[in-house]
Amino acid sequence: MTRWRWGGKHVLVTGGSEGIGAAVAAAAGKRGARVTILARRAGPLSATAERIGALAVPADVTDTGSLRAAVATAVEENGPIDVLVHCAGTALPGRFLEVEEHEFADQMRLNHLGTVNALRAVLPAMVQRGAGRVVVTSSTAALLPVPGYAAYGAAKAAVAMLAAVVGTEIESRGVRIGVLYPPDTKTSGFDAENLRKPPETAAISAGIAPQSPERVASVVLRGVERGSRTITSDVLTRALLVMPGVLIPVMRPVLARIARRARTRE
């Protein structure tokens, strides 16, 4: 297999203004790639682009017209896209019976359909060229029934299945798709998420130290280099991916007990 080289590659990162996306973009740029970052908020996007030396193109992944126009601009400025790392997304934790109804649709629209839109905007050209690498972002919450993540976990599970199906369709045409399963990661989005976690969700999260975006980014880049189908940076998620039929039945009652204790202390 030919050794992967970042030099001269065009890397497009959605959700690239902060968090994991910004860390991936910075790491790819340091390895010699031409980097384009996309995000909805123009101010933070421009600031990050200036800091890491990337091209900033404002876009909303839930708006297909905005996204396709942004991809066209990225290609015009930096050439054909060799790597797509799709990080745009959000987590709005809350108990199933208590969250606002629209939040289920909001998280599915951004996390799942935003991924659909990004793939449909970038994949046709990759397939036509017969080359490309893609990473989409799921979550450990897609693998484990964590209380408080009914909407988020379901949307991220949809992302994982989407990538698996699309991968079976296009891998023979030279494009590899990997799924990132990041654990809790210390970002501004994670800080905002913590402000609204129910006690039981917070109690479960408290036992796991969040990783740095840079740590996750290094694993993402290694996954791109290897053409990995699954990418993760922690032992628990790796074990869940390898032995879901064994671990999930064992962990489900444990999570339920933690939830009950947290509720009684509320």
If you average pLDDT over every residue of the chain, what do you get?
93
Share of the chain above pLDDT 70, in %: 98
pLDDT of 247 above 80: no
pLDDT band at 264 (very low <50, low <70, confident <90, very high): confident
Instruction: Spell out the domains of the chain, with CATH numbers in brackets.
Output: 10-265 (3.40.50.720)
Q: Could you tell me where the DSSP H helices lie in 82-234?
A: 102-107, 114-129, 150-170, 188-194, 199-206, 213-226
Q: What is the mean pLDDT of residues 218-230?
A: 96
Q: What is the mean pLDDT of residues 220-244?
A: 92
Q: What is residue 221's predicted lDDT score, i.e. its pLDDT?
A: 97
pLDDT in tens, 156-182: 999 999 999 999 999 999 999 999 999
CA–CA gap between residue 4 and residue 225 (Å, rounded): 5
CA–CA gap between residue 74 and residue 68 (Å, rounded): 10
What lies within 8 Å, CB to CB, of 239 at 6+ separation is 247
| Residues identified as active-site | 138, 152, 156
Q: What is residue 117's predicted lDDT score, i.e. its pLDDT?
A: 98
224: left (phi over 0), alpha (psi -120 to 50) or beta: alpha
Q: What is the mean pLDDT of residues 243-263?
A: 79
Q: What is residue 18's predicted lDDT score, i.e. its pLDDT?
A: 96
What lies within 8 Å, CB to CB, of 153 at 6+ separation is 139, 141, 142, 144, 145, 146
Q: What is residue 266's predicted lDDT score, i.e. its pLDDT?
A: 66
pLDDT of 1 above 70: no
Q: What is residue 224's predicted lDDT score, i.e. its pLDDT?
A: 97
Phi then psi for 143, rounded to 5 degrees? -105, -20
Q: What is the mean pLDDT of residues 67-96?
A: 97
By the 8 A CB rule, do 140 and 237 touch?
Answer: yes
Q: What is the mean pLDDT of residues 8-22?
A: 97
pLDDT in tens, 38-57: 999 999 999 999 999 999 99
Calculate the alpha carbon distances from 105 to 92, 150, 170, 242, 248 in Å: 11, 12, 28, 30, 26
Residue listed under structure tokens 């064992």 = 250
